[in-house]
């Protein structure tokens, strides 16, 4: 079954069209990377799926439910059962690690006992339980990245959206966290849509790669097929 369906989706900013007639389907539990240069529409695609923007044309369905239509957001982000890891991480600087994880659960009115259980499990899963009382400024870049991932996963999302999440890290740490993302996806079985401009990152993480160019999907296929298409 498809978890994500985008049908004829277009979006424009004042400077002109960003996405044009885009069709996309992502199956439950699938890992898909959206690859392309800056300005090709990758982040706009993520923001449309997350419910931060309405499409100008077309419609978006999650789990068979229409969540956005032309000029309309039918289900806000908090009703889409998804998690987002932004490029800049967007951690709350005034909250502790635990507070960052608890914020979204409180917004969804998850009972205290369930919040405590989920937070404990997620901190353990990411290996950051010892940092629960620290604030983001007291953590390294890799530790902050794990907190951002934990904050998304504590919501138990069906869909995880990641927007260039490892771009600011050094090579060795990127490799380590890529392996961590794969481990978590295989263990928790969420659907992953991963936005990146890094070919090797896309090939390593995804079961299927989409190449976005000038607001349209120029290619879709396996990582091996993408390597051939891109000549790399």
Q: Give per-residue pLDDT as tens, 115-141.
A: 999 999 999 999 999 999 999 999 998
**76-80, 86-90, 173-177: which range is least confident on average?**
86-90
For residue 49, what pLDDT is reported? 97
Q: Which residue has the tokens 């800049």?
A: 88
Contacts of 54 (CB under 8 A, 6+ apart): 48, 68, 69, 70, 71, 72, 73
8-state DSSP, 12: E
Predicted confidence band of residue 1 (pLDDT cuts 50, 70, 90) = confident
- In a domain, residue 105? The reply is yes
- In a domain, residue 107? The reply is yes
Which whole number is the average pLDDT over 51-77? 97
- For residue 16, is pLDDT > 90? no
Pairing outcome for strands 216-221 and 82-85: unpaired
What is the tens place of the pLDDT at every residue in 36-53? 988 899 999 999 999 999
What is the tens place of the pLDDT at every residue in 137-179? 999 989 999 999 999 999 999 999 999 988 888 889 889 999 9
Q: What is the CA radius of gyration of the chain?
A: 17
- For residue 15, is pLDDT > 80? no
- In a domain, residue 34? The reply is no
- In a domain, residue 94? The reply is yes
Distances (CA, A) of 147 to 31, 41, 92, 119, 141: 21, 27, 11, 11, 10
Picking from 87, 53, 42, 68, the residue whose alpha carbon sits closest to that of residue 209 is 42
**Counting Cβ atoms within 10 Å, is residue 122 exposed (0-12), middle (13-18) or buried (19+)?**
buried
Q: Range of 151's domain?
A: 89-156
- In a domain, residue 22? The reply is no
In what helix (H) or strand (E) does residue 193 lie, and over which residues does it extend? Answer: strand 191-196
Q: 151 - beta bridge partners?
A: none
Q: Specify the number of domains making up the chain.
A: 1
For residue 214, what pLDDT is reported? 87
Angle (nearest 5°) at CA 231 between 225 and 232: 85
Inter-residue contact 18 to 12 (CB < 8 Å): yes
- In a domain, residue 100? The reply is yes
In the three-class reduction of DSSP (H, G, I as helix; E, B as strand; rest coil), residue 82 is classed as strand
Inter-residue contact 32 to 194 (CB < 8 Å): yes
Which whole number is the average pLDDT over 86-97? 91
State how far the Cα of 7 lies from the Cα of 205, in Å rounded to an integer. Answer: 25
State how far the Cα of 48 lies from the Cα of 117, in Å rounded to an integer. Answer: 31
- In a domain, residue 129? The reply is yes
**Counting Cβ atoms within 10 Å, is residue 201 exposed (0-12), middle (13-18) or buried (19+)?**
buried
- For residue 232, is pLDDT > 70? no
- In a domain, residue 50? The reply is no
In the three-class reduction of DSSP (H, G, I as helix; E, B as strand; rest coil), residue 166 is classed as coil
């Amino acid at each position: 079954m498809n978890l994500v369906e985008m049908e004829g989706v277009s979006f424009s900013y004042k400077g002109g069209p960003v996405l044009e007639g885009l069709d996309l389907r992502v199956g439950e539990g699938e890992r898909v990377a959206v690859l392309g240069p800056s300005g090709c529409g990758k982040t706009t695609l993520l923001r449309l799926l997350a419910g931060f923007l309405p499409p100008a044309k077309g419609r978006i369905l999650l789990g068979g439910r229409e969540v956005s239509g032309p000029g309309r957001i039918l289900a806000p982000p908090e009703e889409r059962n998804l998690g987002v890891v932004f490029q800049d991480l967007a951690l709350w600087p005034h909250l502790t690690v635990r507070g960052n994880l608890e914020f979204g659960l409180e917004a969804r009115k998850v009972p205290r006992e369930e919040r405590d259980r989920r937070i404990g499990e997620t901190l353990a899963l990411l290996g950051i339980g010892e940092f629960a009382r620290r604030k983001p400024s007291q953590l390294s870049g890799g530790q902050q990245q794990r907190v951002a991932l934990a904050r998304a996963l504590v919501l138990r999302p069906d869909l995880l959206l990641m927007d260039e999440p490892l771009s600011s890290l050094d090579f060795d740490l990127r490799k380590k966290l890529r392996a961590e993302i794969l481990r978590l996806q295989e263990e928790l079985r969420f659907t992953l849509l991963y936005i990146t401009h890094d070919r090797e990152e896309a090939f390593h993480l995804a079961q299927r790669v989409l190449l976005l160019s000038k607001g349209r999907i120029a290619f879709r296929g396996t990582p091996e097929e993408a390597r051939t298409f891109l000549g790399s």
